[in-house]
Amino acid sequence: MIPVSAYRTGATPRRTLALLSLLSACLMLLTACGPTGGTSTADGATKPDSGASAGGETEAAEVTPYDVTPLLKPSKKYLGAALTGVPKSLKPLTKYTDTIGKQPNVLEYYAAWGDGFDTSGVRRVYNAGALPFMAWEPFKPSLASIASGKTDTYLKTFAKNVAALNLPIAISFGHEMNGDWYAWGRTKTTASDFVKAWRHIHDVFEEAGATNVIWVWTPNVINPAPNVKLKTYYPGDAYVDWAGMIGYYTLTGAKTFDTLYGPTMRQMRTFTKKPFFISETASQAGERRRADINDLFDGVTANKDVVGFVWFNIPKRADWRIEISPLALAEYKKRAANSRFGFDIRKQ
Amino acid sequence: MDRETDSWFSPASPPPAWDPTQNQYRATEPAPYQYAAAPVVEPLYPYEPEQPYPYEPYPYEPEQEYEPEQGYEAEPATEKAAYEIPETPETGWSGAPSRRRRWIGRILLAGVLLIQGLLSLRLGNTAATDEAVSLIVGHQEFDHLFNGAAVTTDLVQQFPGSPSLYPVLAAAADAAYGLAGARLLSLLFALVGTALLYSLTRRMFNERVAICSAAAYAVLQSTAVVGYYAAPDALAIMLVALAAWIVVHSNRAPAAVVLAAAPVAALAVAVEHASVLVLPTLLLLAVLTAWPLPTRGLLRGFLLGAATLALLFVTGVLSGVRNGTFARGQGSESAFSVLTTAGQWSGLLLLLAFGGAVAYLWRERMNEVVDAAVVASSPLRRAALGLVLCGTGLLLPLLQAQLHTSEVMFRHIGLGLLFAAPLAGVGISRMMGAHFRQPQLGILAWVLMLALGISQSTLRFGTWPDSTRLVSVLRTHVSAEGHYLTEVEAVPQYYLRGVTGPDQWTSLRGQSASATASAIDKGRYDLILLDGASSTDKDKAVTEAIRASGRYRLIAQLPYRVSGGSGAYRVYVAE
């Protein structure tokens, strides 16, 4: 007969072993059932989010990127404006809309290199049905520095924020680069550095997934410096969506659409077929103002490859505001009322 | 006076009378003592004398007739004893087949199949490339068979089997219930395969080994994945299991019966060309399971091999196998890496199978039932069986290591493990010991396999990106007229088959970098889809060509994360 103590001696380690075995097995099972790093098992059920309705800011990786292609060559013309105080506030927009009788659908604003991305302002503009247009001014550092990646920390953060917002925005970097009045102008930097900087910025934005940007390459009209070849400043069709241009009707300059923009457009057509966009324009107050406005609307209407214009309604060097000339304003109201100008970009 | 026997206060005699004259008790004979009559009490129930207990020992009836050993002769009973001790078995239970045993086995099998189903159904992702290939080919073949439409997709070249078998079934399920329907069809095949494994293992060993074997096989990564994967592997595994089932169950039938397995095995190879790798195992199984050895076994093996090869040759499957699946180039993975991966997926089961094979060779059974009729097999046969079954489990990983790729190993490895599983069942059963002495060891091994199976199958279903966003972006830019260049094989074609046809899509893999660059420069494509996960020279050349042409705009860069890392789809559209 086996003594009872012998059973006890043998049973204790066996039970302990069994207990430990089951415990470790349960732990392993729990571990295996837990979240696994880097695993994606979304059952195709991740509902695509247009981003527009979400108003951006959601994780860019989870939403369908905003498709800007319908905005590149719309059937109607953009009717834009640059207004003081926009996009910080839309009160100036309301006032301007009341003034001209129609809400502009491009709102241009200016940001210096180093400024943060105004997410709220851009969303505000988009929610009003307009395309935000940011003129990015690289006062400092130099274009060579930007091209070399010295400011990439800022650039990448900016690009990520733009991508995360997932709303359409037009960006014009270093506008009027063919002039000599800006820090990034032709006398301060080379065309090669400009192109390198532009491409670098574009690549960083692409890398960040910011495909919601409409890239507007914007020289000044060539009239002041006809010998400066625009092609040397052109980054390439793969980097540009609109061939922009800036040209004002002044008392002493060109007086017709063809003489003001024609030479520039013809030169651009030698190296690109991108749509034209008049990134800034206005008419200097004077007797010709009504005629200039009519000429501008006629020219934009007649040229199918001009997708629209931005009226610079800011007093700077001259008072370009439309409301200071009642007759011109009336003409502007009349022409802008045409259904071919202006549309809600959210419905495009 | 004896007070013990004649005590005065004994009720047997009255007390003596006192004589006052003699001042002593009278010595006269005492008168008999009269007691008052006790009242008569009527019993409530009529008294019945106790009846003898009708005990009749339950006669032991062994289901298998007891046959005494030769030479044993019971002594004749000379005279009938007063009582008889019933004949008792040497063990408390029998190892012979019984209805109860069968039903317990079936109930446990149902539990195993339930777990297998749950493991598969918990997986989820959009269609993988292999699944999309199967379904596109299936839809085209379906239209070809029933509507006479031409098969235009070149994806048929990528399909690892006969395009008119599994793809047609999957396409029918897809047409009715979508991708989930096609995957559920695979689940059905996988469950039947496991049930067949249980049945053939039960035939080879017993119910306990069978249930251990099925339980181990059901929780493997490969089983869980192919059970919810719209590819021909689940069907192929089921057909291979069916062929093995026929081979094992016909072991005592006339040799020609094994021919019934030949069309099933040939069909398995037609469904999935990789099944050809386990054909030798089926032949050896036909030899080794035959009873008695050796001539009948060899005849069975010969008949099965000849018939299967003849069928494969006549139907043209053999040339398809030679020119298709096994004519592909080698990969770039190291053999060690491939074997490590295989070890993670199948190592524990193979370890148990090796243990089972050794234990089986050492002792044929655990002898829980001492009086069971044992058909002893030779150690040579047991060693050969163990070698064949374990070797088949190793065959697929070794072949993949030789090819330096583990791309499709997760699907094919189950074919080999199907044969190693019975021995793994033996291993688990022996670990638990006779009379379930150490059940915790078996439970531990199974839970480990379950944990690995859950984790690895989840990771496997995360190795390809969720294509929901990609398809939603593409849908707005494709039409029935466009031409599209894609680096993402089959998936966009499958999801956009209602809008585009397969011939509208050009695979980047199918043409040279220079030809692609030239076509891009000419603007031949309306949309280009690149997969940023790869960064080959061709990718770089294509990206450069897109930039140089200036004809395309990047409209979406869709980052994704998968089990193996991350990447991004890039979608360009012509301006």
Residues of B in contact with A26 (CB under 8 A): 447
Q: Smallest CA–CA separation between B450 and chain A, in Å? A: 7
d(CA A229, CA B521): 26
| Number of Cβ atoms within 10 Å of the Cβ of A239 | 18
Look at residue A36 and tell me whether its pLDDT is greater than 50.
no
> What is residue B44's predicted lDDT score, i.e. its pLDDT?
59
Which of B429, B460, B491 finishes a domain?
A: B460
Q: How confident is the model at residue A327 (pLDDT cuts 50, 70, 90)?
A: very high
- Among A29, A41, A214, which would you mutate to test the B interface (most chain B Cβ atoms within 10 Å of its Cβ)? A41
> What is residue B295's predicted lDDT score, i.e. its pLDDT?
82
Q: Smallest CA–CA separation between A287 and chain B, in Å? A: 42
Q: How many domains does chain B have?
A: 2
Q: Do A18 and B573 touch (CB under 8 A)?
A: no
Residue B68 in any domain: the answer is: no
Q: Smallest CA–CA separation between A233 and chain B, in Å? A: 16
In terms of CA atoms, which chain A residue is nearest residue B548? Answer: A238
- Over the stretch B449-499, which tens digit does the pLDDT of each residue have? 999 999 999 999 999 999 999 999 999 999 999 999 999 989 999 999 999
Which region among A27-41, A126-140, B95-109, B515-529 has the lowest average model confidence (pLDDT)?
A: A27-41
- Over the stretch B139-191, which tens digit does the pLDDT of each residue have? 999 999 988 888 888 888 888 899 999 999 999 999 999 999 999 999 999 99
Q: How far is CA A214 from CA B371, B494, B572, in A?
A: 87, 32, 14
Which of B460, B485, B519 finishes a domain?
A: B460
What is the rounded average pLDDT of the residues B32-51? 57
Which of B403, B431, B460 finishes a domain?
A: B460
Residue B17 in any domain: the answer is: no
- Among B121, B554, B560, which would you mutate to test the A interface (most chain A Cβ atoms within 10 Å of its Cβ)? B554
Residues B116, B217 within the same domain: yes
**What CATH number should be reported for the domain holding residue A254?**
3.20.20.80
> What is residue B77's predicted lDDT score, i.e. its pLDDT?
56
Q: Do B462 and A26 touch (CB under 8 A)?
A: no
- Over the stretch A180-220, which tens digit does the pLDDT of each residue have? 999 999 999 999 999 999 999 999 999 999 999 999 999 99
Residue B423 in any domain: the answer is: yes
Q: Do B562 and A40 touch (CB under 8 A)?
A: yes
> What is residue B376's predicted lDDT score, i.e. its pLDDT?
66
> What is residue B41's predicted lDDT score, i.e. its pLDDT?
57
Q: How confident is the model at residue B40 (pLDDT cuts 50, 70, 90)?
A: low
> What is residue B21's predicted lDDT score, i.e. its pLDDT?
60
Q: Smallest CA–CA separation between B456 and chain A, in Å? A: 9
Residue B80 in any domain: the answer is: no
> What is residue A9's predicted lDDT score, i.e. its pLDDT?
41
Residues of A in contact with B561 (CB under 8 A): 38, 40
Residues B371, B277 within the same domain: yes
DSSP single-letter state for residue A111: E
Residues B544, B431 within the same domain: no
Higher pLDDT, A309 or A9: A309
Give the closest of A18, A42, A207 to B125, CB-based.
Answer: A42
- Over the stretch B267-312, which tens digit does the pLDDT of each residue have? 999 999 999 999 999 999 999 998 776 788 899 999 999 999 999 9
Quick check: B95 and B369 in contact, CB under 8 A? Answer: yes
What residues make up the domain containing A107?
Answer: 78-347
Look at residue B107 and tell me whether its pLDDT is greater than 50.
yes
Per-residue HEC secondary structure of A208-270 comes to CCCCCEEEEECCECCCCCCCCCHHHHCCCHHHCCEEEEECCECCCCCCCHHHHHHHHHHHHCC
| Number of Cβ atoms within 10 Å of the Cβ of B345 | 26
Residue A47 in any domain: the answer is: no
d(CA A199, CA A207): 12
Residue A157 in any domain: the answer is: yes
> What is residue A269's predicted lDDT score, i.e. its pLDDT?
97
In terms of CA atoms, which chain A residue is nearest residue B543? Answer: A238
> What is residue B94's predicted lDDT score, i.e. its pLDDT?
67
> What is residue A40's predicted lDDT score, i.e. its pLDDT?
34
Closest among A320, A127, A317, A165 to A107, alpha carbons compared:
A127
- Over the stretch B306-338, which tens digit does the pLDDT of each residue have? 999 999 999 988 887 877 656 566 778 899 999
- Over the stretch B398-430, which tens digit does the pLDDT of each residue have? 999 988 888 889 999 999 999 999 999 999 999
DSSP string, B196-220: HHHHHHHHHS-HHHHHHHHHHHHTS
d(CA B220, CA B187): 14
Q: Do B553 and A69 touch (CB under 8 A)?
A: yes
In terms of Cβ atoms closer than 10 Å to its own Cβ (0-12, 13-18, 19+), residue A110 is middle
Residues B407, B543 within the same domain: no
Residues B450, B487 within the same domain: no
Residue B394 in any domain: the answer is: yes
Residue A59 in any domain: the answer is: no
Q: How many domains does chain A have?
A: 1
Residues B254, B304 within the same domain: yes
> What is residue A61's predicted lDDT score, i.e. its pLDDT?
46
Q: Do B469 and A211 touch (CB under 8 A)?
A: no
Residues of A in contact with B564 (CB under 8 A): 38
Give the closest of A14, A41, A209 to B462, CB-based.
Answer: A41
Residues of A in contact with B547 (CB under 8 A): 236, 238
Q: Phi and psi at residue B189, in whole multiples of 5°? A: -60, -45
Give pTM, 2 decimals. 0.79
Residue A40 in any domain: the answer is: no
Residues B293, B234 within the same domain: yes
Residue type, B551: R
Q: Do A40 and B125 touch (CB under 8 A)?
A: yes
Residues B195, B114 within the same domain: yes
* ipTM tops the 0.85 cut: no
What residues make up the domain containing B503?
Answer: 468-574
Residues of A in contact with B562 (CB under 8 A): 38, 40
Q: Smallest CA–CA separation between A237 and chain B, in Å? A: 5
> What is residue B2's predicted lDDT score, i.e. its pLDDT?
37
Residues B349, B252 within the same domain: yes
Q: Smallest CA–CA separation between B543 and chain A, in Å? A: 11
Q: Smallest CA–CA separation between B513 and chain A, in Å? A: 20
Residues of B in contact with A35 (CB under 8 A): none
Residue A290 in any domain: the answer is: yes
Residue A194 in any domain: the answer is: yes
Residues B222, B366 within the same domain: yes
Q: Supply the angle between the helices B409-432 and B335-362 in degrees, to the nearest 10.
A: 30
Residue B488 in any domain: the answer is: yes
What is the rounded average pLDDT of the residues B26-39? 54
Residues B128, B195 within the same domain: yes
Residue B120 in any domain: the answer is: yes
- Over the stretch B536-573, which tens digit does the pLDDT of each residue have? 778 888 889 999 998 999 999 999 999 878 889 999 99
> What is residue B51's predicted lDDT score, i.e. its pLDDT?
57
> What are the start-end ranges of the H helices in A1-77?
4-33, 69-72
Residue A33 in any domain: the answer is: no
Residues of A in contact with B454 (CB under 8 A): 29, 32-33
- Over the stretch A84-110, which tens digit does the pLDDT of each residue have? 999 999 999 999 999 999 999 999 999
**What CATH number should be reported for the domain holding residue B477?**
3.40.190
Residues B358, B507 within the same domain: no
Residue A67 in any domain: the answer is: no
